[in-house]
Every structure is written in C-alpha cells, then in structure tokens.
Chains A and B, each alone.
Chain A
C-alpha cells in the first residue's frame, strides 16, 4: 500500500476547511454570517493554489490505484474549484434572502467539491463510486435547501430518487466490469488486453451501457435528462450553476476515466463509439429544441446545458488526443460562460424576483454593463467569436472532423448550433430591443461585490480564452497525457 497523502493535500485541506466553515457558523452572530461566504471563497482559491503546486505525473499514484494525480485530474480540479468559487460568490444575495442555515450551505458546497475532486482523481472503480456519492449527496440537500419553497423541495426529492437510481445502475455496470476482468483498476487499457483472449465482448457491452446510463443521469444526457430542468429550476440559483458546471465536469471526468481507462482510447471507440455518438446527437437535438420553448431562464439554461453536454460528447466520441483536449477546453469555456450567466440570473432574480425571460426586457437601459456581460456569456455559449465558446466549439468540431467518420455528427452539431443561436439571441433581444417602462424606483442596480467578482471572473475568462487561447490550448493538450491511445 502506498500511502501518498502528499498528493492529496488539496483535498485534505478543503475537507478540513469544510469542517472549519461548519464550525465557524456557530461562532458568528447572525449579522456577521457573510464572513462564512468569504471564508468559503478563500477555501476554494487556496485549494486551487494547492492543486497547482501539487505534483502531477505518472508516478503520483497512491493507495493502490485509488488516487492518481495526473494532469487530467488537476485540470478538472481547477475547473471544479473555480466553479465552486464562482457559485459561492454569486450566492451572496440568495443566501441573505432565502437561505437559513448558512454554515451548512457553504459547508455542503465545499464538501461536494471535495467529493468531485476525489472523483476526478479516481482510477479505480470503488473509490470512484464512493467519491461520486460524496459529491452528489450534498447536492441533494443543497437542491432542497430553500425548504419553504415548494419547487425546491420537489426538486430535491426528484434529484434524490433519480440520483439513487442512477447510482444503482452505475454500480450494477461496475460489478459486471469487475466480474469480467477481475480488476477494478482503470489504468492503461486493462480491458483491451483481455479482449483478444477471452470472449467477453457482449458482457462488456452490457456493463458499458449500464455505466453510461448511470453517468448519463449525472451528466443529464438525453434520454436521462428528465430531472435536469426541474432540478435546475427549483434549486437555489447558485446551486443550479454549480450543478450545471462542476457536477457535469466531474461526471464527464468519471466517464472518461472509465471508458478510456478500461480500453485504450482507440479501441474504446470501436466498442462504444456509436453509442455515445447517438447520445451526443440526441442531447444536441433535444436540448436545443426544448430550450427554444422555455420562458423561464433557468429552464432555458438547463436545456442549453443538456445541449452543451452533447457538444462535449462530440469531442469525446472523436477519441483522440485532439478530442480529449477539446473536451477540456470546452469545459473550461463552458465554466466561465455558464457560471457568469447564472451569476447574472441570480442578480436579476434578486432585484426583480423573477426568472422569466420577458422580465429581462429593458435591461440594457437599466444596467447596460450587466446586459453587455450577459450578451457576451450567451454568445460564448452559442459559440460565436471572439469568445471562449467559439474556440471550444472549434476545437471539438476539429476533433470530430479529424476523426473522419463523424461527419454526420458534425452536421447535426452545426445545425443545432444554429437553433441554439435562436434562443440565446432571444434573451439578448429582450435585454436590448424590447422596450419597457422603467419605474422611477428602479434606479441603477448596485450589485454586491462577491457577485460582481463572479461576473468579472466569468467575463475575463470568456474573453481571454476567446482572444488569446494559446496558453489554454497548451494546457488542455497536456491534460491528455495519461491516456493510452
């Protein structure tokens, strides 16, 4: 047993910090509870700094193969921590208004991030499953946190039941994998070696379908997406944003670990390529078309995030170095744009008590800067230059075209992107074009500083990756090292 606590320092720190935040709650008087928010912000940033300084590489494996700190893991940890940071920052208004147990709220967000960090580092089925549960159980609670709000409770319950179901499916699939290979380790194509000798093909397909279904729930892939719009709508908005980015990134990392880990990347595509390609196509089609019909911006963003998962999977199916780094850059771009957009949704919800798209009317007059920021985030989600989303889509399309057999998928991606522009543009239209009488009482909005930080981080990330993507592309291409092609 190689007990490598040193490569686990960020996780251990953050876990400890969650306890600290929970405990600190007891010592602050009601008026001073904002300090908890700043503490959580600090925790996420400090953990991110620790992640950067923690060594990565093929030798950084600990606890059997349960914990592996490669560049892939640390990249996703940064994404998760940034998402956590932005979610916590954007929760300032929401927490003051409708969250009662503030210490638990922040503590659970941090705890969930710890689970996700373990998840992306797991190269072994058992630790992967445990980490997955650690990351989702806090989210069930967080979703239902506004307990006096009926939709929130409903969302929490739905999420819990479907989450449990998906975990069961996942576990079932994992048990097949273990049974057939005799190993739970997900390194270096452990199944590919067996494939030639033993006739276990169909069993593996079955196990893979179950695993994909299980993780499909977490990723809100069509047809496992039914919970997402309800949960996204009901959950407190900062949690929605956290769910839509961090949880998706972690789920994607788990899928990558399992599928690319059990197979080598190339052979994997032969077995599961078409399955995931179909899921990607469905996600893009259903996600985008359903988003067209939404009048609530949180539901619209929920469907849009379902569609975004589809675009990510296009890169995944391409099964190449380019594809994997495409996924990474996509997640990164999606992080900034989506978290930024949700931060603005929180702000609007706070000021207007409404999530309806039509209530965004006249925003450009009232607070032009917010309207411009929102526009940039939506353009990034739609993939229009010069934003991060364009670079990301570009790279994912690139990977699929390089693959050569995925033209049909690229065509679907292109067509649905056009559809997506329609609904993103609708929000822009409301903000800039639709006229609305602004009441005199609605003076210019002053946003709290944490939420302003969240919006700024999103804005800067979106524009920098969009205009000078070079360093991020370099970073994303190192992420793919630890997989065998």
Chain B
C-alpha cells in the first residue's frame, strides 16, 4: 500500500473520468455524485498519507519507481516530502470542495466540466509527487488542457481571450524549461531524469551556466506564480474562469510556480539563485505593493480577489528569498493559506454571483441584512486573507516577514506595507458590499446560503482557525525537509547560513561574528 498510494492518489481521478464517461449525459446527479465521491476518497487518501508520514525523515517517502522510457533513462518515479506533502493535501482538499461548490452552479455540459476538473486534479497531483523531471514536465503540460476548457467553455464573457492568453503564457515558459531540462540531461551524461540525481549534478555546474538554467526554469515558474511583470494573464484568467476554476487556479496552480522554485530552481542552481535574490526580492516587493494597489481600485469583487493573489504570491516569493527557516516555512505555509483563503473567497464570490449575476461592488451594499450567514463567512475569510492574528494569514505573513527581516530589512518593511494595503482594500470592499443602506431591490430579496453551501465553506473556516491558532500541526511535518533544503543550498551560498538563524526575531548581520546561542537553537 505504502509504495503505491501516491500512484493511486494521482490516478484515482482518472478512474472517476472513466466512470463519468460511462454515465449518461443527462444523468446529472450521478455525474456529480461520482465526481464528489472520487475527490472525497482522494482527499481521504491524502490524509492517510499525512498520518503515515514520518516527519523526522527529510528525504522522499512513499517512493515508488519503475522504468518508463528506459531508452532515455526516464522513470515513473513518485515520492513525497515535507514540502510537497501539504501541497498534495491542499490539492485534494480544494479539488473536493471545488466539485462540491459546482453542485448547482454548473448545469450546462456538466459531464465535460467534471471530467475536466478530474483530469486537472490528476495533473496537479502528478506535478507535486513527480520525482522524475520528465514525468514532472508531462504532468505540468497535461494540466493545461483541462484548464483551457474550464476557462474557455464555462467562463465569463471574455473567456476565449483569457483562456488563450493563459495557455500561451504558460506554454512559452514551459517550453523554455523543456530546453533547459534537455540541456541538463545531456550535461549530466544523458542517463537519467531523476530529480535527486540531477540536483546533485546541477550544483556542480559553473555559475554562468547555472544562471541561464535558472532563468529558463525561473521564467516558467515566475509566469505561473505569477510574479510581476508576468502576471498579466492572471486577472483575465481568474475573472473569466468559473468559480471552481478560479478556486483551483488560485489555490493550486499558482502554487506550482512557487513549488517549482522550491523544488528545482533553488536546490538545483543555488549559486545562480544567490545572484538572482536581489532581482526576485525586488520583483516580489513590487508584486506585493502593485497587486494591492491595483486591487484597491477594482470595481469587480472577483478581480479584486485576483489582484490580491498577485500581492499574496509576492509574499511567498519574498519568503523564499530569505533562505532561512522562518522565511521558507512561512512561504510554504502561506502557499497553503493563500489556497485556503483565496479559494474560499472565490467560492463566496461565486455564491453571490449565482444569486445576483453580477459581481460589481457598486451593485451591492447592505447585503449583510439580507444574507447574514453568507456575510459572516465572507468577513471571516476576508480577515484571514488580510492576516488578522488567530487566522492563518497572520502566521504565514509573520513568518515570512520575520525571515526576510533577518536578511533584508528593507524588503521586509516594504513588504509589510502590503499587509496594511490588504486591510485597506479588503475592508473597504467589505464595507461597500456588506454594510451601509440596503438600497437596491434585488439585494433585499436575496436568499441566504443553503445547507450544502454552508457545508462547503465550513472546512475552510476550520482550516483558517486551525492554522491560525495551532500552526505546529502544519509546520512540524515540513520542518526536516526544509532544514535539509536550506542546509543543501547554504553549502553553496555565502550570504546566509542556517547555523546563524534563530527561532526568535533577531536582526541578522552577515558581518557580525557568530554567537554561541544563535548557533545551537536548531539542534
């Protein structure tokens, strides 16, 4: 069981696709039940992985590999470590809830819709569990197809523009990555695509080569994150996508970019990463502030949430550049947080859109009076997105800013303004939508959430407070893996050193001699 569980987890949605394919086109309830059940079992399986996960082990677990295309040394190799564990669980969690949230929203061509969601889930899980670069690339590309359809068929008025833009941006990045992958393959002797072995090889490359490779990989991931200035596809895709599409897009797809940095760019090309740190930090900070400022002036709630994603993803990138425990852990946790909070926000927006068929802020006002339950959910999630203490956002952003402050106080300070701006745009939007006079007739007769809609949102609320109040559940399993990653990277990087990092908030000066108490905190 243990060795095949990741394979089962990844390909279970494909089984669902086959079952749905066999179901009649008109049999909507059956299709929904199959999709729901499959994604739910997938979620349960991922929890099984969590409970059997050995947090003390820094390497990959549940490893399974068989030769796939031995002609090129390509293996079907899957495994999971502390970094990918949470992303896998996040994927199954959101996948399940995304199916659930589409219960009444999608009526047209339901079969194709559910099939797309399930294939997408296989693609996403595959990306996170692949231990072979070729396999990774295949999953990475496969995801494009269902996403193209999800946005293109069930999207909003400008869906075609949005979906083509999404595909072209992603393809451009990933093809350059393909070239880089092949280059590494030949440089390393042309025998393997194993991520672990290639990582061991890549760190020995000269810095100039590493820079090129980092740029090629980094571009693919930066587009996906998206980092400023490659973010322009995101608002279009997010706004046009159907609710479940937005949830998956924001919740999981964006994480693939940051996961790519964590899994490939940073450990494979540490010296190049060191060179790129200033550039990435600057872009991350620009992303944080720019995203927040643009979010503030949006008229559409959904595009406000979309731009807030640009801002939040900037935080995650900033945390990675810190290259220390707090920053890294904060980033990974923030990936989770962003998936949960933004996913929930998109669902909440989707629920009002289903009722009012508009998302314009100006169309609302005083909705709290007609939909108190929905509004309460909205407020809680919005506050978690801002990063209020005791919600998940706070822990993530705090760790990131702490980590960054240790190495680059200026970026941390600039980044922190993002939190303030987030409070501005979110609370201002909340005020305009939920409070004030209930002026419009359409808003007076809105029905509040149905039972299943509440049930969909409750898991999000639980997660928000769980992470906010007791983050150790989430931080512990990733700790050893992150430590190992930082340890591996810092061997090659002069600018920070894990030994010098302390748990507590201590401004770090690289020129300062090490003190004893700093050195031992992690041991």
Give A residues with C-beta under 8 Å from B.
364-365, 368, 379, 384-386, 390, 394, 397-398, 401-402, 410-411, 414-415, 417-418, 421-422, 425, 428-429, 432-433, 468-470, 473-474, 477
With contacts A433-B152, A470-B69, A477-B71 taken as known, whether A417 is within 8 angstroms of B168 at the C-beta atoms is no
Which A residues are CB-close (under 8 A) to B71?
469-470, 473-474, 477
Proximity string of chain B (134-150) to chain A, C-beta cutoff 8 Å, 1 when within and 0 when not: 00011001101100110
Asked whether A385 lies within 8 Å of B159 as measured between CB atoms, the reply is: no
Inter-subunit contact A421/B160 (CB<8 Å): no
In contact, A384 and B175 (Cβ under 8 angstroms):
no
Of the candidates A384, A473, A474, which one forms a contact with B145 in the assembled complex, judged by CB atoms under 8 Å apart?
A: A384
The 8 nearest A-B residue pairs measured at CB: A473-B71, A414-B175, A385-B138, A401-B182, A433-B152, A385-B141, A418-B172, A418-B171
Please report the C-alpha to C-alpha distance between residue A386 and residue B185 in the assembled complex, in whole angstroms: 20
B51 in the interface, Cβ–Cβ < 8 Å? Answer: no
Q: Is the CB of B179 within 8 A of A397?
A: yes
Residue B178 lies at the interface, judged by CB distance under 8 Å to chain A: yes
Q: A385-B141, A398-B185 are in contact. Are A425 and B172 (CB under 8 A)?
A: no
Hey, which chain B residues are within 8 Å of A469, CB to CB?
Answer: 69, 71
Query: Roughly how many angstroms separate A131 CA and B175 CA in the complex, as a whole number?
Result: 40
A418 touches which of B112, B168, B179 (Cβ 8 Å):
B168
Chain A's closest residue to B154 (CB) is A433
B152, A432: Cβ atoms closer than 8 Å: yes
Q: Which residues of A contact B137 (CB under 8 A)?
A: 385
A385 to B135, CA, bound (A): 10
Interface of B is mostly: helix
How many residues of chain B have a CB within 8 Å of chain A?
A: 34
Chain B neighbourhood of A379, CB < 8 A: 145
Minimal Cβ-Cβ distance residue in A for B70: A470
Known: A386-B138, A394-B178, A398-B182. A417 touches B171 (CB 8 A): yes
Distance A429 CA – B159 CA, assembled complex (angstroms):
11
20 additional A-B residue pairs with CB within 8 Å, beyond A414-B175, A421-B171: A384-B141, A384-B142, A385-B141, A390-B138, A394-B178, A398-B185, A398-B186, A401-B179, A401-B182, A401-B183, A402-B186, A414-B178, A414-B179, A429-B152, A429-B160, A432-B149, A433-B160, A470-B68, A470-B69, A477-B71
In the bound assembly, the distance between CA atoms of A468 and B72 in angstroms comes to 13
Given the complex, which residues of B lie within 8 Å of A421, measured CB to CB? 167-168, 171
28 contacts between A and B (CB under 8 A): A368-B112, A384-B141, A384-B142, A386-B138, A390-B138, A397-B178, A398-B182, A398-B185, A401-B183, A401-B186, A402-B186, A414-B175, A417-B171, A418-B168, A418-B171, A421-B168, A422-B168, A425-B148, A429-B160, A433-B152, A433-B160, A468-B68, A469-B69, A470-B68, A470-B69, A473-B69, A473-B72, A477-B71
B157-178 CB contacts (< 8 Å) to partner A? 159-160, 163-164, 167-168, 171-172, 175-176, 178
Asked whether B164 lies within 8 Å of A425 as measured between CB atoms, the reply is: yes
CB distance from B116 to the nearest CB of A (A): 10
Residues from 34 to 78 in B contacting A, C-beta threshold 8 Å: 68-72
Q: How far is it, in angstroms, between the C-alpha of A364 and the C-alpha of B145 when the chains are bound?
A: 15
Tell me the complex Cα distance, A470–B175, Å.
23
Are A432 and B179 also in contact (CB < 8 A) when A384-B141, A385-B138, A418-B171 are?
no
Measured CB to CB, the nearest residue on chain A to B159 is A433
How far is it, in angstroms, between the C-alpha of A443 and the C-alpha of B345 when the chains are bound? 43
CB atoms of B164 and A422 under 8 A apart: yes
Does B153 interact with chain A (Cβ within 8 Å)?
yes
Residue pair B171, A433 in contact (C-beta under 8 Å): no
Decide if A364 touches B69 in the complex (CB within 8 Å): no
**Complex Cα distance A360/B356, Å?**
34
Cα separation A138 to B418 with both chains bound (whole Å) = 71
Q: Which single residue of chain A is at the shortest CB-CB distance from B169?
A: A418
Query: Nearest residue in B to A398 (C-beta to C-beta)?
Result: B182
How distant is the Cα of A473 from the Cα of B167 in the complex, in angstroms? 29
A415–B163 Cα distance when bound, in Å, is 19
B residues in contact with A385, CB < 8 Å: 137-138, 141-142
Closest chain B CB from A45 CB (angstroms): 28
Q: Is there contact, CB below 8 Å, between B141 and A433? A: no
- Chain B residues near A397 (CB-CB < 8 A): 178-179, 182
Instruction: Tell me the minimal C-beta distance from B115 to chain A in angstroms.
Output: 10
Q: Roughly how many angstroms separate A397 CA and B177 CA in the complex, as a whole number?
A: 12
Q: How far is the CB of B196 from chain A (nearest CB, A)?
A: 21
**CB atoms of A414 and B176 under 8 A apart:** yes
Q: Given contacts A401-B179, A418-B172, A470-B71, is CB(A386)–CB(B160) below 8 Å?
A: no
* Bound Cα distance A397, B174 (Å): 14
Which of B138, B175, B186, B190 counts the most A-chain CB atoms under 10 A from its CB?
B175
Q: Is the CB of B152 within 8 A of A410?
A: no
- Closest chain B residue, CB of each to CB of A325: B71
Residues on A with beta carbons closer than 8 Å to the beta carbon of B163: 429
A402 to B149, CA, bound (A): 36
CA gap between A37 and B168 in the complex, in Å:
42
In angstroms, Cα B149 to Cα A410, docked, is 29
On chain A, the residues within 8 Å of B138 by CB distance are 385-386, 390
Nearest Cβ distance between residue A387 and chain B, in whole angstroms? 10
Q: Which residue of A lies closest to B111 (CB)?
A: A368
CB proximity of B242 to chain A, nearest CB, Å: 13
A477 partner residues in chain B, CB cutoff 8 A: 71
In this complex, what residue of A is CB-closest to B176?
A414
Structural contact, A418 and B149, CB atoms closer than 8 A: no
Contacts of A433 in B (CB 8 A): 152-153, 159-160
Q: Which residues B334-362 have CB closer than 8 A to chain A?
A: none
| Separation of A398 and B134 alpha carbons in the complex (Å) | 12
Residues of A close to B145: CB separation below 8 A:
379, 384
Task: State the CA gap A283–B177 with chains docked (Å).
Answer: 23
Docked-complex contact A417 and B175, CB < 8 angstroms: yes
Q: Which single residue of chain B is at the shortest CB-CB distance from A395?
A: B72
**Are B141's CB and A410's CB within 8 A?**
no
- Decide yes or no: A390 and B141 within 8 Å by CB, A398-B185, A470-B70 being known contacts: yes
Cβ-closest chain B residue relative to A393: B178
Closest chain-B Cβ to A156's Cβ sits at a distance in Å of: 37
- Shortest CB distance B127–A (Å): 12
Instruction: With both chains docked as a complex, state the minimum distance between the C-beta of B107 and any C-beta of chain A, in angstroms.
Output: 14
User: How far in angstroms is the closest Cβ of chain A from B122?
Assistant: 11
Name the residue on B nearest A417 (C-beta).
B175
Q: How far is the CA of A415 from the CA of B144 in the complex (A)?
A: 18
A379 to B143, CA, bound (A): 13
